[in-house]
A and B are shown apart, each in its own frame.
Chain A
């Protein structure tokens, strides 16, 4: 029973991190790049309108960062629960 409890604590923590990362995933792509594009386009950085930049550049950079952050978080979590063997 202790073992199952341990496993479900790990799972809960995992789900929490995944949901946070997916929220960011949604905000940078569907949020900044699609839904709020017009509002963001009033801001300009260099030659880029911000909404357009998120849709064609920014969202993709954030995607890459998200996966590597996830890799780090999970490696630490695996260690904490002794699942890194």
Chain B
């Protein structure tokens, strides 16, 4: 099927086997070298990670298969609206660095529920936090395992399920053996692989399209065809011509853009697998610094992605629009086989009409049915957004090893995020549930064993969802941010900045915030309350389910403060904890 891939020399597939094999061997080698020998190693990598290593690990942890493979594609179809992801998934780090990371590091425990449980002197609060952490992490991790499977199947001709299982085994090996310590140092390696794999094709394409080697600048430069036209003007013109909205204008309403961006920012700052990374450094000042390094390393990819999006969009339109189907380039045919791109000649003129609208009808599962053209639109082309990154090296005619590198990069992105999430799940179970709630008398040795076993359990559950993805997983992953925004963020912020905040307020806020988010999501995203998913016009204040995290967060803040006013102040010793975390010096090592 992929005969066209083996072009010359070693061939793409062999290159992919070589590069993926080498990177996997590195990850396993690191895991053996950095295996965990105590719960402290397992939960917070011994607490002595340098700010640079932690910054790199955080960046890899953060950038998932979605950031690597799908984001540029989403932006290239959404134009300006794509900014919600760009600003949303980076702006949260400012909140993390200024409002959370230094204080949580000073607090010096292992997990987010640890902070909630101690600060709100309550097992109920801890338990609610554990449930929120598990809900957020499981929805997120299922998508990552699926991502691993998809990368394998697209590049190595294995079945998606086989890909998921290979991914499970690799993550299992280094997460179970190394815990946070193993994960941290494999993530450092994974960052290097993924950033190299993303930047190299981007630089080449920028040179080809604009003559500028820096994609961020090429994005605003003139085209190299000698016309003197700016790339973005050209793209606006092409989009308008074909009936799409202007690329630099977008189509979402301002309030929705605002709400989604804020929900993603706050959600980022509230995601347990990101927060926990700041428990691994030595001092409070290291926590601040590593947040800065992490964001710098993330922004390298995030400022390149919109440039790639604009290049790829222009390239795509110019290559296919009104061109004879018989003359399409090699990559078009290749990705047609995997249904990432599909053409149906509705008017029988042998040319590709690519305009606004769905080319095909959807089946009952909401997926496009490539046997039934949608005759109510003139559009004849279906393009999967993932193709924008996956096919980029081929569109730019880069050598085979670069194409293979993109596969290794996609796997690095998916595996690093999956491992970080699995660790949160396993520590929630072994530390927060077993050690702190069910059996406080458990020995250090017993807790470490429990941590490893829960990691195994978590990998199996994640793998199960990766192989049998429930229809709602894709929808829910984007909403994990809303859930984190609606639950953790207010509880942690109030816990640090509002000494009078008590357990009654925090628990009520978290429960009401996350419930509101879940209900809105079920009604307006999944449509389980009605026959179908309700129309946009019924959204509250015109805010989409993705943006509702902002509303749920505000609700959480209001409920927490109102309930607190009517209930007793927290005890003296808790107020002392708050005084203490506000002072950076004397951050001891993380303890039980």
A51 to B579, CA, bound (A): 42
Find A52's partner among B91, B99, B248, B289 (CB 8 Å cutoff).
B248
Q: Is B258 positioned at the interface, with any CB of A under 8 Å from its CB? A: yes
Q: A18-B98, A47-B220 are in contact. Are A33 and B295 (CB under 8 A)?
A: no
Q: A47-B233, A64-B292 are in contact. Are A7 and B582 (CB under 8 A)?
A: yes
A21 to B98, CA, bound (A): 9
Contact A34 B254, beta carbon cutoff 8 Å: yes
A74 to B288, CA, bound (A): 9
A85 to B584, CA, bound (A): 9
Q: Which residues of A contact B102 (CB under 8 A)?
A: 74
Contact A46 B83, beta carbon cutoff 8 Å: no
Stretch touching chain A among B298-306, B348-356, B405-413, B438-446:
B298-306
Contact residues, B251-280 vs A (CB, 8 A): 254, 257-258, 261-262
Contact A84 B288, beta carbon cutoff 8 Å: no
Contact B303 A29, beta carbon cutoff 8 Å: no
Contact A78 B302, beta carbon cutoff 8 Å: no
Q: Is B205 positioned at the interface, with any CB of A under 8 Å from its CB? A: no
Q: Is B56 positioned at the interface, with any CB of A under 8 Å from its CB? A: no
Number of interface residues of A (CB under 8 A): 43
Contact residues, B355-392 vs A (CB, 8 A): none
Q: A45-B220, A63-B295 are in contact. Are A18 and B87 (CB under 8 A)?
A: no
Q: A7-B579, A45-B220, A46-B230 are in contact. Are A70 and B97 (CB under 8 A)?
A: yes
Find A22's partner among B98, B258, B291, B586 (CB 8 Å cutoff).
B98
Question: Residue-by-residue, is B232-249 near A (CB-CB < 8 Å gives 1, otherwise 0)?
Answer: 110000000000000010
User: Which has the most chain B C-beta neighbours within 10 Å: A30, A35, A67, A83?
Assistant: A67
Contact A60 B86, beta carbon cutoff 8 Å: yes
Contact B87 A10, beta carbon cutoff 8 Å: no
Contact B296 A48, beta carbon cutoff 8 Å: no
Contact B257 A60, beta carbon cutoff 8 Å: no
Q: Which residues of A contact B99 (CB under 8 A)?
A: 18
A41 to B200, CA, bound (A): 31
Contact B306 A56, beta carbon cutoff 8 Å: yes
Q: Is the interface of B mostly helix, strand, loop or mixed?
A: helix
Residues of B in contact with A, size category = 35 or more
A82 to B306, CA, bound (A): 44
Contact A67 B254, beta carbon cutoff 8 Å: no
CB of B105, distance to nearest CB on chain A (Å): 13
Contact residues, A1-45 vs B (CB, 8 A): 4, 7, 10-11, 14, 18, 21-22, 25, 29-30, 33-35, 37, 41, 45
Find A61's partner among B222, B254, B258, B299 (CB 8 Å cutoff).
B299
Contact A10 B289, beta carbon cutoff 8 Å: no
Find B94's partner among A22, A34, A37, A55 (CB 8 Å cutoff).
A22
Q: A29-B91, A34-B258, A67-B97 are in contact. Are A60 and B303 (CB under 8 A)?
A: yes
Instruction: Given contact pairs A49-B248, A52-B83, enumerate 8 new A-B contacts (beta carbons under 8 Å).
Output: A10-B583, A34-B83, A56-B80, A57-B216, A60-B90, A60-B303, A64-B295, A71-B292
A-B contact pairs, 20 of them (CB 8 A): A4-B579, A7-B579, A14-B582, A18-B99, A29-B91, A30-B258, A34-B83, A37-B80, A47-B221, A47-B222, A52-B232, A52-B248, A57-B216, A59-B86, A66-B94, A67-B295, A70-B97, A70-B288, A75-B285, A85-B585
Which 3 residue pairs are nearest across A and B when measured between Cβ atoms? A47-B230, A55-B83, A67-B292
Interfacial residues, chain B to chain A (CB-CB below 8 A): 75, 80, 82-83, 86-87, 90-91, 93-94, 97-99, 102, 216, 219-222, 230-233, 248, 254, 257-258, 261-262, 285, 288-289, 291-292, 295-296, 299, 302-303, 306, 579, 582-586
